[in-house]
Chains A and B, each alone.
Chain A
């Protein structure tokens, strides 16, 4: 009888086990269905982003680190220079390879591309390459090295060959270093660029500084506005928010041009001040830093007001009242109770404004002077005017890196999950 009981217990346990197994399978199955559904819902956007965003931008950015021209146009000399130690002039075989390559490139009509690339690194390389191409004799009388050095003594310069080897690809740090005003010397170690060629550190610093100033001004102007709106009854708050968002209804370009009209020498403000007798001669209010700040703050202010307002709206009035009833003066109540609770909104607003400001292009280009141009201006300059994709990409990498760094810092300090937008 005991054995019978044990057997039936075993059977019962086995069926429990089996049930549990079935249950787990059922759970997995239902989960899988949910996961498929979630994936299917996300897929269209994912495909769109990949096709229109990740792939093209990735391709663009890759120009900053790859260097395909020289290895394609001057293949044999690139190959010959791989074994060169760089301490002395390259071997005779490298000179011979260069002659072969230049002849082939002239025939193919690709020498210009190679000259452009090499000229980025060493000014004058274009002249050197074309001159050499023109003066190469049909038959060599002596060694290749002597022939080339006779055509142009620069071929007897180690730096010339080092530049050629640096451009040999397929990967390069030339552009990225260039974006930081750095370069490699003939020995391959990193040094600062010559003083007169240093621009990008200044540009990056200026970009960060202008963005920071715009962010601070937006915060100082936007915080009280958000506070006032948050204190209104919902209907009136809606109207006020609409007014805050009104600038979004006109295009960025129109708004910026409007600032030109307002601020220029014969503009609305100057005429007004002159006619009121406040000033004797027109103020210079445009094509300088002041105009850049004014126009950028105007455009970016709503991005500060919205998240700050949203956080303020969720803070019940009873907190400040409680602080007050506990003996805190109005400023203390604000500083110790209200302000800390608005920090997530301040963080979100500052992050959005700062990151957007980093990439500003049109506004500083239209209302700023030569010393007020931000990094995007130079990206556009290299991409559009000189068609130096490598430099444009490297500057873009700088901008993207700065943005990501900032985001990481924000995430560390405040936490992205605490960010609240509109």
Chain B
């Protein structure tokens, strides 16, 4: 078996609970050995079901999952040797921390002295030395989370699954834990599959992200291309902030296109991401940080297709950046995000303005059905 072979392969996996709707639909996914893969999506998108299929708590209704080349469908969860961290941590309340961490070792028949040693090492790894005799209820949320991670790691599984493990923590602790888990991953080199609905968490932690929607993967990419080059309107909408404009495609030349937008009956230029026939409905996505703003009347030559007029309604000061809210054609809201250094050069509130952008940052997708 070569090391470049994926550790897990989903081949044509389908899952339905009611025989009508498909929770997971014809899923193909290769998980590389040692990577940190995040399954990202809104609730009901099939990401958790995919994780549960891998853990063995759900059985696929179609397809096969291969773990290191061996089919998993007849292997019960307790023989899969996959560590799992649950959303509510699932620490056993009637056992001490040490007993919790030692549980996977004792069910494997590891000798008592050996268990104690490995539990101690695991506690050390998550910086909880000396907490072994406590009960889970005596620990804070973050500490419980660390124990859950230690318990999933202590039996040295090939694969760790995490199901929204940081959902219950407050923002500051969550960000700290994100980095901690990331560091553990880098140090141990174990493959991790992580489920979350929080896109910034996914961007922070992952080697690769799989965006789920309606039971299938919309895009599988590294964080930066995922953010910069979303492949469809859903991914663009789900990851990061967006200004969305609805329009129809007028013409395409190479990858540049011209789009007629309803707002102010104008034509704009952009990059066509998906093939759309001329006259087809498109959604245009513009990141707030990729657009600029200026007083109207200062049209720059040659870029007349990369601007839209509006009225500067409000400037919001956020400390590290400013947001300008522009209203177009009386109703359509448009958000512009500028660095704090530009806060004092922005047009006056209430004045007519133009927002403008570089054509590669104006991305056009087929409209979502």
Contact = CB atoms under 8 A, between A and B. Distances in A.
A64 to B, nearest CB: 43
A321 B78 contact: no
Contacts of A319: 90, 92
A323 B57 CA distance: 12
B243 interface: no
Contacts of A324: 56-57, 76-78
B57 A327 contact: no
Contacts of B84: 321-322, 325-326
Given A321-B57, A340-B94, A341-B93, A326 B155 contact: yes
Contact of B87 (A318, A326, A340, A341): A318
A319 B95 CA distance: 12
Nearest to A322: B90
Contacts of B55: 321, 325
A327 B86 contact: no
B151 interface: yes
Nearest to A338: B92
A328 interface: yes
A337 interface: yes
A331 to B, nearest CB: 11
Interface of B is mostly: loop
Interface string A321-354: 1111111111011001100110000000000000
B107 interface: yes
Contacts of A329: 78, 107
B212 interface: no
A123 interface: no
A87 to B, nearest CB: 63
B87 A325 contact: no
Contacts of B76: 324
Interface residues of B, number: 27
B107 A327 contact: yes
Contacts of A340: 94
A387 B265 CA distance: 104
B252 to A, nearest CB: 50
Contact of A318 (B77, B90, B103): B90
A316 interface: yes
A330 B151 CA distance: 19
Interface in B229-277: none
A321 B161 CA distance: 13
A329 B80 CA distance: 12
Contacts of B155: 326-327
Given A327-B78, A337-B92, A321 B107 contact: no
A325 B92 contact: no
Contacts of B88: 316, 318
Determine chain A's interface SS by DSSP, over half rule: helix
Contact of B107 (A316, A318, A332, A341): A332
A334 to B, nearest CB: 12
Nearest to A332: B107
B108 interface: yes
Interface string B63-106: 00000000000001111111110111010111000000001100
A325 B104 CA distance: 9
Contacts of B57: 321, 324
Nearest to A326: B104
A327 B81 contact: yes
Nearest to B92: A337
A308 B88 CA distance: 23
A329 B79 CA distance: 8
Nearest to A337: B92
- Candidate in B55, B80, B94 with the most chain A CB atoms within 10 angstroms: B94
Contacts of B103: 323, 326, 328, 336
Nearest to B87: A318
Contacts of A325: 55-56, 77-78, 80, 82-84, 152, 161
A333 B108 CA distance: 13
A337 B57 CA distance: 17
B90 A321 contact: yes
A321 B76 CA distance: 11
B90 A328 contact: no
9 interchain residue pairs of minimum CB distance: A322-B90, A326-B104, A325-B84, A318-B90, A324-B77, A340-B94, A328-B107, A318-B86, A327-B107
20 contacts: A316-B90, A321-B55, A321-B90, A322-B84, A324-B56, A325-B56, A325-B152, A326-B83, A326-B104, A326-B107, A326-B151, A327-B78, A328-B78, A328-B103, A328-B104, A328-B107, A333-B78, A340-B94, A341-B92, A341-B93
